[in-house]
A and B are shown apart, each in its own frame.
Chain A
Amino acid sequence: MLSEIAFYGALETGLIYGLVAFGIYISFRVLDFPDLTVDGSFPLGAAVSAILIIHGWNPWIATGAAVLAGMAAGSVTALLNVKLKILNLLASILTMIALYSVNLRVMGRPNVALLSEETVLTPWYDLGLAYHQVPVVLFLIVVLVALFLLWRFMKSETGLAMRATGANPRMARAQGIATGGMIVLGVALSNGLVGLAGALFAQSQGAADVTMGVGVIVIGLASLIGGEALITPSTVIRALMACVVGAIIYRLAIAFALNADVLGLQAQDLNLITAVLVTLAIVLPGVRNSVVSKFTRKKA
């Protein structure tokens, strides 16, 4: 039903979107800051890394630059909100729109091909793994490192202060936490992760494209919410695992839907399927609870 290549492809994109889901977890869940900047910082990461790679930079340094670019974009959104008091959602939309122009400027054209360039993946092809397994192995390592670092950060004094900022800002201020600074740090971190995802995505797909960010926020949210439905995010580590599991399951679900000929779905139906899956992920846990409660009431 699903070919091996399609399966590994789904894993690969799932892992990349796991990084996006980490970012969205920080903004939406930890900081309670609905941030749509990611639709712009994802292609920004791709654009920055792609343009540096074709100019002969080391791909890992190019990827690091993509992370910094993402963090800068996130800082702009957060500063618009914290300093200029613009509503968080609107601030992020402003940055997202601005980034469309920035991305075109960075690349100098709508897309940059990386097909014959050396990327972070290149050395890994010599390790004797099957061609389509290489990105999965590398990205799995990246995701696990990011997960570990984020988990340690959230448990640190600064991370705890960030969690308090999102959960109860008044209490956080009374404890001497500069909540504005925490929002800037958190949203920057979030978009840095999304920039990283964009850079890895461009290198594994062989191109950066100015339109590749459309809907990243929805896919990231779908991964986050779906993951939370499967793994109750009662602790930080569970919440982070939910991001990765949710992103992979989401990608696999999409791959199955597109591969199942009986459904008659095609690639252009992707966004429709996404919207349906997000709706189901939001609604289903509630339905399950109400079904369970009806059952128990009848019993009593």
Chain B
Amino acid sequence: MISADDLRLTFGKGTPLENPALRGMSLTVNQGEFVTVIGSNGAGKSTFLNALAGEVMVDSGQIVVDNQDVTRLPTYKRASRVARVFQDPLAGTCENLSIEENLALAIKRGQRRGLTTAVKKQYLGQFRESLASLKLGLENRLGDKMGLLSGGQRQAVSLLMASLTPSSILLLDEHTAALDPKTAAFVLELTKKIIEEQKLTALMVTHSMKQALDVGDRTVMLHQGQVVFDIAGKEREGLEVKDLLGLFEKQRGLEVDDDSLLLG
């Protein structure tokens, strides 16, 4: 379980570029929930995810993961509980390390690292098995450099890496946005499969309203650094993009002018 309470964060405080990114953001994600997060550009989606991961420190508010207050902990100290897949397919893996070395890094996420060989023989079976489940033929290319893989393949491996060890929450930051439509669909299917099979708790930021409604079991919309609505269960079933827009306008009493929200 992860809960954020009244998070506030302003970038460039006291400068002409002062930008309040989070203005009292509160959200609780329960064990086993798959929450999709939408919002226009500048709504605070990425900042919220970065705050949960520890990449940015909030000015005020509290973040609790599994009953532990992690608000002031840096990223690497949260890594045992928080797994992450980035938007940029190049960001989640090391291109000059081999596939097996990348997986070996991930299998020790948040644990002590010693002086024993990183790529242990007993890992290889597990690596091959999980790579085979991607059906990309990567199970025979363990020694290949990550940089030789396509963006879609790298994103698929990033997902695998994030799910190799247990976590309290999986953060997905528009992880299909930089891929071509076909690959994006493949990675999204894979995401659904992994989350379902391993019963993961996940928070997925997406730019597409359709995607937000199609996957997961709860949808949250952010606007100007706050949650504007939060729907789940019966209320969410059968909802379409235009209903979501209507809901948004009703809530805020304003017109949505961001075309990107209508796409997809």
| Interface residues in chain A, defined as those with a beta carbon under 8 Å from any beta carbon in chain B | 153, 155-161, 163-164, 167-168, 170-179
Contact = CB atoms under 8 A, between A and B. Distances in A.
Contacts of B53: 174
10 contacts: A156-B117, A160-B101, A160-B113, A160-B118, A164-B105, A168-B95, A170-B86, A171-B86, A175-B79, A176-B80
A160 B104 contact: yes
B76 A158 contact: no
Question: A-B pairs with the 6 shortest C-beta distances?
Answer: A176-B79, A176-B110, A157-B113, A160-B118, A173-B75, A167-B94
A177 B108 CA distance: 9
B208 to A, nearest CB: 24
Contact of A156 (B76, B97, B114): B114
Interface of B: 53-55, 74-77, 79-80, 83-84, 86, 91-97, 101, 104-106, 108-111, 113-119
A210 B108 CA distance: 45
A163 B111 contact: no
A177 B74 CA distance: 11
Contacts of B109: 174-176
Contact of A173 (B76, B116, B117, B118): B76
Contacts of B92: 171, 174
B91 A171 contact: yes
Contact of B106 (A153, A163, A173, A175): A175
Contacts of B101: 160, 163
Contact of A158 (B94, B104, B113): B113
Nearest to A174: B84
Nearest to B93: A171
A152 to B, nearest CB: 8
B118 to A, nearest CB: 4
Contacts of B96: 163, 167
Contacts of B114: 156-158
Contacts of B76: 172-173, 175-179
B92 to A, nearest CB: 6
A272 B80 CA distance: 53
Contacts of B74: 173
A175 B108 CA distance: 8
A159 B115 CA distance: 8
A228 B86 CA distance: 33
A156 B105 contact: no
A157 B55 contact: no
Contact of A168 (B55, B77, B91, B108): B91
A172 to B, nearest CB: 8
Contact of B97 (A157, A164, A177, A178): A164
A160 B103 CA distance: 11
A153 B106 CA distance: 18
A163 B146 CA distance: 14
Given A156-B114, A160-B101, A174-B109, 4 more contacts: A157-B108, A163-B96, A163-B97, A177-B113
Given A164-B105, A179-B76, A158 B97 contact: no
A170 to B, nearest CB: 6
Given A173-B75, A176-B80, A155 B118 contact: yes
Given A164-B97, A176-B110, A157 B75 contact: no
A157 B113 CA distance: 5
Contacts of B84: 174
B49 to A, nearest CB: 11
A157 B94 contact: no
A172 B95 CA distance: 13
A158 B79 CA distance: 16
B72 to A, nearest CB: 15
Contacts of A164: 94, 97, 105
B93 to A, nearest CB: 7
Given A163-B94, A176-B76, A158 B105 contact: no
Contact of A167 (B77, B95, B111): B95
Most buried by B among A153, A160, A176: A176
Contacts of A179: 76
Contacts of A175: 76, 79, 105-106, 108-110
A159 B94 contact: no
A174 B83 CA distance: 7
A19 B113 CA distance: 26
Nearest to B95: A167
A156, A172, A174, A177 — most chain B CB neighbours (10 Å): A174
Contact of B118 (A156, A168, A172, A176): A156
Of residues A156, A157, A170, which shows the largest number of chain B Cβ atoms within 10 Å of its Cβ?
A157
Contact of B117 (A155, A163, A168): A155
B75 A174 contact: yes
